Amino acid sequence: MKRFNCFNLRSFGFVVAGFDIIVAVGTLALCSYHLWTDIVHVSYWPQDDVKILSPLGNLITTLVDYVLVHNFSDAFYMVLAVTVWIKSLINLVVASILMDGIRKQRLVCIAPWLINTSISIGIEIAVFIFMEIKMNEFEEEIALDRRIVHSVIFGVFMVFNALSVFGIYSLYKMLKDTANENRTLQESIVEAAGLYQHVKV
């Protein structure tokens, strides 16, 4: 029964890690395409007379100019895409480390996924509360069914994240207990071997 439970938890961990990797790779691909098209269209944005010799500096000054002075929406989606791209890259790295940690039973490789997911859940809850506050300010303009759908999707997503964190944490505890048992068993074997050698002499 213990081995069966171990197999289930390990399989669950591999499924969660694999799902995170697939989602991260897909998001990276979409964000990269979106950013590439945005960077291509940056040259068509109105720019000041002052030219920066560095292409990167010119891009940054154009973005800052649009964020602070001109039309915010164009630059906002680019900044949002960069943020999502960085977050997806972190998720990809952490999920890969998680899969390697489960395969090699390394506890230090499982902890980053737990920390990253816990922080993400906290940020998502904060964003949801902020959006609900904003929706309350425009309650007459936002349909009730739209708010219900938004809340249901958020609730399902939170339940999935909570189950994933609970499952990976249970796997972490199980591997830690197994490592402690193996360490105790090895110490007992070494101690017994030393006693046997002493008696033999």
Q: Tens digits of per-residue pLDDT, 6-41?
A: 457 788 889 999 999 999 999 999 988 887 776 666
Q: Where are the alpha helices (DSSP H) in the chain?
A: 2-42, 55-68, 72-104, 107-137, 144-200
Domain of residue 137 covers: 2-200
Q: pLDDT tens across 80-106, in order?
A: 788 889 999 999 999 999 999 888 888
Confidence (pTM): 0.69
Structural domain total, the chain: 1
pLDDT at 55 over 70: no
Distance from the first to the final alpha carbon of the chain: 43
Percent of the chain clearing pLDDT 70 (strictly above): 65
> In the predicted model, what is the mean pLDDT of residues 141-168?
80
pLDDT at 107 over 80: yes
